[in-house]
Structure 1
């Protein structure tokens, strides 16, 4: 064992259940992991088992349901422990037995419902419910208040579902949740709960729903059956559908810290055996689903506040992938359990690698949320941008080979690196040629801002992996058609990436690409105008503004992030708010027409305007560089085009396409 991190591998008890270490798979929506009868499908069983195999002490499933009457869900969607109890128990038992084989424990996360935060694409078309007549988070609808009989029905379903979970081999359950503004949290927050019956008014009344759920579970499963509560200490709500940014001064409209501390005390009094702490709601959901723009370990101070007032274990998630930070949090008493959500999507063997002293082999999460929250939001499927095998373990297992092939890979960006990695694991003989001095492609300039540090970690991880796999890498070499055809390669992969789009504005000596500025090749001066309000343009502008530059964004469309925005709205919504918060001026529906003598001319609504600036930064997209492929495509029997050279897209599709192709060669 790596002695430095030994504290993280000490056992801890939750009620009567002992965990072998301090690591927990944080619950994440299990979309795509259920079958039509509400059980776990093979994808789900394999997915959770792989994280146990990787050494995680406690597995907490994503959200499941027990209610079949009030908030009905389309099937298959999420597992449901009461929809078909016999089937649920059978499929779950197969999963829990496999998880237990690795010495891990597993809790079933059980939801009271979504209420005003239902995502219509995921949960079907039904009238949204809530504690009171309040505004829906996403839809322009008013929610229907729950009747007391419906509340009682949901409470009873928790007892029935937890009993089924215990029979199925689950070691405990987690209640979802006085957290993130889900239905139970809506009852707990006075902003949403305007009831005058026993479930409204005082804090004790607003927590009555949660209290009675805990009591029902304990009644059905016994006092020793552990119950965890997902709990948000503070809501971060400025107003309806308006969240606060880090460091922003605002009047809390939801649950503030003082009430949160009292709520934590009461929840433990009611019988909760562990509190899983974060902050935020769906009105400020970049807190609960933190993008790269949030600092790492953002929940640690809030977990410490809870830990100081309760006598049960406290779990803390929230970009906790830095083991040194996690170790410090446990040693200093901020939390007892380190929850890893997205980091265990990226690398299910994180815990075992850390334990074995191989932290440099852990594949980093880049907090892009493209494969996880983005795909849950859009396609009802949980995956991972940097790990194509996540939640597809059986279907993307490495394919055996009949004969090793010698493969030329032209380009050392993420697509080329992923292809080389997979080919080498399978037993082929890839060789990578990169025309620059580093692997990583657009990860290198993209990782320049402090908030994109994990892009550089991913590039470093690929470099280390190729060394471990003995993949030859030749730098500073541009491959020609003659070279590719003169060698005895069986297969050629062209992953030559893309180049920034540019156009002349006149005084082009002070017109730079975003990549040149990000990589430090060009200095933009004290004031600059970024042309293009897409993801790269906005992130470049944000980084420059945070470093004291005066920045203006000029966008031809009617709003920033209109194209190529992050798939996950938590990322795009936070970035949209960070731009004005950092005093970046935005001019939309405008086109740049010329630049000379430190003045940028723009056409705005048919009028010419002047902007004084030291430089202009072009961020108007990229174009595929596939000329070598065009030269080779009819002369090489087996040839593939990957990454931006095939189609300019995001990191996820470059990695996924490369994995798919490399696993089939």
Structure 2
């Protein structure tokens, strides 16, 4: 272990619970990990146990509901400790015993409900509830206010849920949450709580629900049973469904820092044993679920404010995967425990690898949200873009081959690299040929902007993994159909990726975003990007940060219209950053001509001229599948994977390759 990280491996206590190191697994929605009776299914058990096996000191489960009557949830959805208690205890006990075998502790996260922020795919036909008749976050609906009798029922259910958790072997619970604008937080924030009874008005009244939950659990489970709280010290709400951006001046409509610190003190005074601190809300989702456009360690300053105000342990998550940043945060007194969410989806062995000094082997999280929140919001399924085995540890476990085969892989992009890695792990002999001077494919230009640094980190990870596995890699070598047919391979995988779509608009030169990002183009001051998808918008941000005058011309009525599933945190932040940074956008528009100085654009309001030193095309990619078409009828065992087969995103390129490579035998 590097000595500078030793502080991360000190023991730490939450109440009576002693944790072997300062790492916690942050709670993430366990969609797909529960069964129809409210227990943990085998995928859920395997998922949490794998992170304990990987060295994480404290596992905090994703949200589990305590009530399924007042705010109904379709089953199976998330686990529910009160739905069928005997069944929940039976499945959860199996999980906690396995987690304890690795010396880790585990807390069950208990939720009283989502209220106005329930994601529509999880809401079904059930009416949303809230403290008051306020607008739903996603739907054009007004929430139904809870009665005092319903509040009391939820409080009692918390006690029952915690009792069942204790019986099941959990070492404590975390309350979900005076955080992110969930139901308890809606009661705590005056913007959402217009009640005139004892649950509304003063801060103490607005925190009454959270206080009664704690008291019920302590009365039921004993004062020495740890109860922690997920807590947001600031909401970043400008208005209904409108969030503030980093560096933006605005009037806070939710909880400001002053009230946030006061509330933290009260919550600890009530008896909460630790605060799991972040900032944000569903109205400013890019704070609660930070995409790559947010800085790493973005919660550290807020956690430190809370830490200086309370005398219980503070947990801090929020892009904390850089161990230098994490150890500095603990050493500086900003937090006691470092919480890793998506980084543990990407690599369940993060903690053990760090302890062993093998940081190069830690598979990086891209903060892309494609496999986690993107799939949760669209398909109610938790996964990971860069780790196809996340939440499918047993189902996707690699089985060693009994028939070693020589596999030719044409293309060293992310799909080709993943195929080679999986094949080598299973005992095959993959050989990679890449026509350029390095592995990585489209991740190389894609990772040029500073906010996409983890794309390049993923490339470095693949380079390291293939080297460790002794995979034969040939760079600067392009194979043609004759080479492939005569290679004498048992299996051929074509992973030749995709190429940017191009067209002409007259005499003026047009450049692809890829060439611009790779530094192959002299960029003028006035830049127009044709295409407002993900590549166009991210390139625009990068150029604007370089001081360029940038305009986006998009044929569709809005930006990011064809990308998906993008998590709302990513897409909404990117859409808000474009005008905030001063990038001009022209939608429902078509570029018609360019002479090298002026771009002519047809808009719904007529034709306009835009001064342009440089015009960049970001209008999508086309599969590079010509090699495959030449060889598919000449070779019996040939596969087409990644963008070469279907242009998509990093997640599907990796998943595609994993699926094919794990089944070659």
TM-score normalised to structure 1 length: 0.99
Which residue does the alignment assign to 2:277? 277
How far 1:101 sits from its partner (Å)? 0.2
Which deviates more from structure 2 when the two are superposed, residues 131-140 or residues 328-337?
A: 131-140
CA deviation vs aligned residue, 1:156-192 (integer Å, no higher than 9, x gap): 0000110000000000000000000000000000000
**Cα deviation code 1:411-459 (max 9, x no counterpart):** 0000000000000000000000000011110000000001100000001
Q: Within 2, Cα distance between the matches of 1:83 and 1:568? A: 30
| Contact 2:400–2:425, Cα closer than 8 Å, also in 1 | no
Q: Does 1:425 align with 2:425?
A: yes
Aligned to 1:639: 638
Could you list the structure 1 runs, at least 4 aligned residues long, displaced by more than 6 angstroms after superposition.
Answer: none
Residue 127 of structure 1 aligns to a residue whose secondary structure is coil
Quick one: distance in 1 between partners of 2:59 and 2:423?
A: 31
Q: d(CA) in 2 for partners of 1:63 and 1:123? A: 15
Cα distance per residue 1:312-347 (max 9 Å; x no partner): 000000000000000000000000000000000000
What's the secondary structure of 2:174's corresponding residue?
strand
Question: Partners in 2 of 1:325 and 1:507 — Cα distance?
Answer: 50
Report if aligned partners of 1:174, 1:228 keep a CA contact under 8 Å in 2.
Answer: yes
Q: How does 1:518-597 map to 2 (within 5 A)?
A: 518-565=517-564, 567-597=566-596
Point out the more displaced range, 232-241 or 522-531.
522-531
Cα deviation for residue 112 of structure 1 reads 1.1
For the 8 Å contact 1:514–1:536, the answer to whether it is kept is yes
Q: Distance in 2 between matches of 1:280 and 1:270?
A: 23
Q: Is the 8 A contact 2:235 2:255 kept in 1?
A: yes
Displacement, 1:15?
0.3
2:96 matched to 1:96?
Answer: yes
8 A Cα contact 1:320 1:338, kept in partner = yes
- 1:377 corresponds to: 377
Q: Contact 1:524–1:616 at 8 Å: present in 2 too?
A: no
Aligned to 1:173: 173
Matched, 1:629 2:619: no
Show CA shifts across 1:548-568 (max 9, x none). Answer: 100000011111111125521
Cross-structure match for 1:306? 306
Q: 1:216: which partner in 2?
A: 216
- Say which SS state the counterpart of residue 648 (structure 1) adopts: coil
C-alpha deviations, 1:477-511, integer Å up to 9, x for none? 100111112222100000001111000112343x2
Whether the aligned pair in 1 keeps the contact of 2:228 and 2:272 (CA below 8 Å) is yes
- Is 1:28 aligned to residue 28 of structure 2? yes
SS at match of 2:44: helix
1:4-83 aligned within 5 A:
4-83=4-83
Shift of 1:606: 7.1
Structure 2 runs not aligned, ≥5 long:
none
Q: Following TM superposition, by how much is the alpha carbon of 1:613 offset from its aligned partner in structure 2, in angstroms? A: 1.2
Q: Within 5 Å, which residues of 2 pair with 1:215-614?
A: 215-509=215-509, 511-565=510-564, 567-605=566-604, 607-614=606-613
Pick closer, same or farther for the CA change 1:421–1:205 going to 2, 3 Å: same
Maintained 8 Å contact 1:60/1:106 = yes
Counterpart-to-counterpart distance in 2, 1:663 and 1:512:
39
Q: Distance in 1 between matches of 2:641 and 2:473?
A: 18
Q: Distance in 2 between matches of 1:293 and 1:4?
A: 28
Shift of residue 48, structure 1, vs aligned partner: 0.2
Q: Could you tell me whether the CA contact under 8 Å between 2:199 and 2:205 is conserved in 1?
A: yes
Moved more, 478-487 or 436-445: 478-487
Residues 267-298 of structure 1: per-residue CA shift (max 9 Å, x gap): 11111101000000000011000000001000
Distance 2:26 2:254 in 1: 24
CA contact (8 A) 2:596 2:612 kept: no
Conserved? CA contact 1:535–1:566, under 8 Å: no
Matches within 5 A, 1:100-115: 100-115=100-115
Query: Cα deviations across residues 574-632 of structure 1 (Å, max 9, x unaligned)?
Result: 00000000100000111111111400011112732110010100001110001110111
CA distance in 2, matches of 1:349, 1:60: 16
Contact 1:534 1:565 in 2 (8 A): no
For structure 1, the 5+ residue unaligned runs are none
Q: Secondary structure at the match of 2:423?
A: helix
Q: In 1, distance between residues paired with 2:12 and 2:602?
A: 64
1:96-118 alpha-carbon deviations (Å, 9 max, x no partner) = 00000000000000001111111
- State the Cα RMSD in Å: 0.8
Tell me, what secondary structure is at the counterpart of 2:639? strand
Query: 1:507, 1:96 → 2: CA distance?
Result: 68
User: What residue number does 1:135 align with?
Assistant: 135
- 1:127 is displaced (CA, Å) by 1.4
For residues 228 and 364 of structure 2, what CA distance do their matches in structure 1 show?
28
- Cα separation, 1, equivalents of 2:331 and 2:607: 61
Change (3 A) 1:75 1:352: same
Counterpart contact for 2:24–2:58, Cα < 8 Å: yes
SS state at 2:283 partner: helix
- Following the alignment from structure 1 to structure 2, what is the Cα–Cα distance between the partners of residues 647 and 321? 31
Cα displacement (A) at 1:359: 0.5
* Paired residues of 1:535 and 1:565 also in contact (CA < 8 A): no
The CA distance in 2 between the partners of 1:225 and 1:339, in whole Å, is: 21
